[in-house]
Structure 1
Amino acid sequence: MMNLMEIFDMQILQTDKENVVIEMPITDKVKQPMGYLHGGASVELAETAASIGGLQHIDQTKQAVVGLEINCNHIKAKKDGKLIANAQPFHVGRKTMVWEIKLTDEAGELVAAARCTLAVVTTS
């Protein structure tokens, strides 16, 4: 079974407590019917980056992070190239985290900006 990271061909470039960078090619898999990058794919990339960052702040043997809320402003349309998410923590608490994610293209131009709130849940 494939997950969305595999389906959308996302590649993790950097992961640590303060910064997560993930790259996604803009292919037909992530485009809307008019041929542009789908806003939902941008949001998926943003939440994935935030979630991977959130994992760095918890005890993964006892806890997990799940998306609680996300908002995203789409700034620039794209038909090809790459979308790069750069996620940084805005707030890291015991029960919630807030991550800011800038989504840029391969030229470094801002494509979208997102903020994702994660809930920290107990798994055991």
Structure 2
Amino acid sequence: MANPADIVPFAKLTGIEIQTLEKDRVVGTLTVRSEICNIASGPAASIHGGALMTFADALGAFGAFQNLPEGCEASTTSESKTNFLSHAPIGSVLTGEAVPLKVGKRLSVWQTKITREDGELVAVVTQSQIYL
């Protein structure tokens, strides 16, 4: 499968890789690099919250796109809430899994859980996507 994130410039810049792209589940990975951290080196270096939000937003948006109602061409995020639960140091490979909580005719709501390789939950994001 070609990486769908390659057609979204910001997702590509961030380094998001999509492994699973289905109507009811999107899974991707993101390797934590110094360029997406709040501090570039040292023991406090960890992924920036905005990078985590970007990761989750992209996964939810790809899922919403898989569920576009007839006559709609795209979706956009209308609301997003993030709970930051743990750190992710440089070199970590994060996995995000987005699943729909509701898919309607005008709106879908997605929840994304982001974990480290050791299974530690890093963030939970809930977002709403409006169909355009």
Which sections of structure 2, spanning at least 5 residues, go unmatched? 1-6
Q: Deviations over 1:35-94 (max 9, x none)?
A: 211011000000100000001111587420100010100000121211111000001011
| Compared CA separation, residues 62 and 98, structure 1 to 2 (3 A) | closer
Is the 8 Å Cα contact of residues 69 and 105 (structure 2) preserved in structure 1? no
Out of 72, 77, 102, the position equivalent to 2:82 is: 72
Q: Which has the higher strand share?
A: 1
User: How far apart are 1:29 and its partner, in Å?
Assistant: 1.7
Partners in 2 of 1:44 and 1:88 — Cα distance?
A: 16
Q: Structure 1 length normalisation: TM-score?
A: 0.90
1:79-90 matches, cutoff 5 A: 79-80=89-90, 81-90=92-101
Alpha-carbon separation, structure 2, partners of 1:63 and 1:31? 34
Aligned pair in 2 of structure 1 residues 64, 78: CA closer, same or farther (>3 Å)? Answer: same
Equivalence map 1:49-68=2 (5 Å): 49-58=59-68, 62-68=72-78
Stretches of 4+ aligned residues off by more than 6 angstroms? none
Asked if structure 1 preserves the Cα contact closer than 8 Å seen for 2:72 and 2:131, the reply is no
1:99 matches 2:110: yes
CA contact (8 A) 2:60 2:112 kept: yes
1:41 to 51, 74, 87: 51
Q: How many residues are treated as equivalent by the alignment?
A: 121
- Residue 20 of structure 2 is aligned to residue 14 of structure 1: yes
In structure 2, relative to structure 1, the CA distance for the partners of 1:25 and 1:95 (3 Å cut) is same
Aligned Cα RMSD in Å? 1.8
In structure 2, the CA distance between the partners of 1:60 and 1:3, relative to structure 1 (3 Å rule), is: farther
Query: Which amino acid in 1 is paired with 2:19?
Result: L
Greater Cα offset, 82-91 or 2-11: 2-11
For residues 18-40 of structure 1, the C-alpha deviation after alignment (integer angstroms, 9 at most, x for no partner) is: 11001010001210135211011
Q: Distance in 2 between matches of 1:35 and 1:61?
A: 45
